[in-house]
Amino acid sequence: MKLIQFPRALTALSLLAGLILAAPLALADDFELKGDPEAGKQPYQQQCASCHGNSGKGDGPAARAFNPPPASLLRDELTAEHLFLVTRDGGMAHGLAPTMPAFNRSLNEQQIHDVVAYLVSLRDE
């Protein structure tokens, strides 16, 4: 009986380990930008432009007051997921400066998607 149970427990354990290891990867793969760039323009201009600049290049009127200053949000290496997460959770939650505020209270999830879609659309201009 014990001989049968042991491999079973092992199988269950390795399945569990597999699930735990796969979960973060699955989450990363799951991110899908579902924003409307047109709808994101107004919240961006209202809530972000003072620091990040009208065109997202990090040249807003308040930018020089910050150290580090807000960098351009149009850099190719910034994934949509990164833009989304930092906007929602704030800089501190993602190893960046706490002067980048969290917007999870002032913008809902859809609005954050819209703002990110707007930022991605600015890259092409």
Residues with Cβ within 8 Å of 33's Cβ and at least 6 positions away in sequence, in order, are 80, 81, 84, 113, 116, 117, 120
CA 76/CA 73 separation, integer angstroms: 9
Nearer to ligand HEC, 73 or 117 (CB): 73
Q: Is the dihedral of CA 14, 29, 57, 98 positive or negative?
A: negative
Q: Which stretch binds ligand HEC (CB under 6 A): 5-13, 15-23, 25-33, 43-51?
A: 43-51
Is the separation of the CB atoms in 98 and 90 below 8 Å? yes
Residue 51 in the binding site for ligand HEC (CB under 6 A): yes
Residue 74 in the binding site for ligand HEC (CB under 6 A): no
CA 113/CA 111 separation, integer angstroms: 5
Q: Which two tokens stand for residue 24?
A: 């973060």
Q: Which stretch binds ligand HEC (CB under 6 A): 4-12, 14-22, 24-32, 70-78?
A: 70-78
Residue 73 in the binding site for ligand HEC (CB under 6 A): yes
Q: Which residue is nearest to ligand HEC (CB)?
A: 48
Q: Write out the residues near ligand HEC by the rule CB under 6 A.
A: 47-48, 50-52, 62, 66, 68, 70-71, 73, 78, 83, 86-87, 91, 96-97, 99-101, 103, 115
